[in-house]
Structure 1
């Protein structure tokens, strides 16, 4: 924890670290997760001197975003998902089709 942290942030750090360890994270990974979480909360509440734009201006927490920024771009359904749908619709020749062909056959 950074020097001068409040008791609240110290408790938060310990809680997040313990939770991460319970989920199977190593000691070092649990410490990293806890530190990043507490630093982000400190930035949001104006307790830190330096903070990234994302940390201070995010409208939602990571759990509220539900993975909105977890991928760089929307790739759509996987080939396996397309194949399963083609199988369900009984599209012939599906086993030899690639992803683009499956998508076209399904009208996507």
Structure 2
């Protein structure tokens, strides 16, 4: 973690990282998401020396609450679907393509 982060931002980073790990993200992915979340919050709070317009004028990560996650025109990513299938205990998931994973996860979620 960068030295410029306050104790509050370090706690926020740890919380987001642990949450991502609980959701099945890899350690590297969890660390990246946590760092991006903290840095965006710091930019919006005026705690950083430099900030992009996207960081300062967009919704904060807590307001957005993942609303854009997997909501694009293609829906959830194959990795997201794979993790969902893993949680649902879908057998043969490693051999499935995105469409098959999507179908199987939807079928199980409808139960």
Asked whether the two chains share a fold, i.e. TM above 0.5, the reply is yes
| TM-score, length-scaled by structure 1 | 0.57
- SS across alignment from 1:46: coil
Match of 1:63 in 2: 64
Instruction: Name the CA distance, whole Å, in 2 between partners of 1:3 and 1:60.
Output: 23
Match of 2:32 in 1: 32
Match of 1:53 in 2: 53
Q: Which has the larger radius of gyration?
A: 1
Match of 1:17 in 2: 17
Any gaps of 5 or more consecutive residues in structure 1? Answer: 75-108
Q: Give CA deviations for 1:51-98 in whole Å, capped at 9, x if unaligned.
A: 11010112454626833xx64xx7xxxxxxxxxxxxxxxxxxxxxxxx
Runs of 4+ deviating beyond 2 Å: 59-67
Superposition CA RMSD, Å: 2.5
Deviation at 1:36, TM superposition (A): 0.3
- Provide closer, same or farther for how the CA distance between residues 27 and 46 of structure 1 changes in structure 2, counting only shifts above 3 A: same
- Provide closer, same or farther for how the CA distance between residues 4 and 27 of structure 1 changes in structure 2, counting only shifts above 3 A: same
| TM-score, length-scaled by structure 2 | 0.56
Number of aligned pairs?
72
Instruction: Name the CA distance, whole Å, in 1 between partners of 2:34 and 2:65.
Output: 18
- Provide closer, same or farther for how the CA distance between residues 28 and 48 of structure 1 changes in structure 2, counting only shifts above 3 A: same
Instruction: Name the CA distance, whole Å, in 2 between partners of 1:20 and 1:46.
Output: 26
Q: Matches of residues 90-101 of structure 1 in structure 2 within 5 Å?
A: none
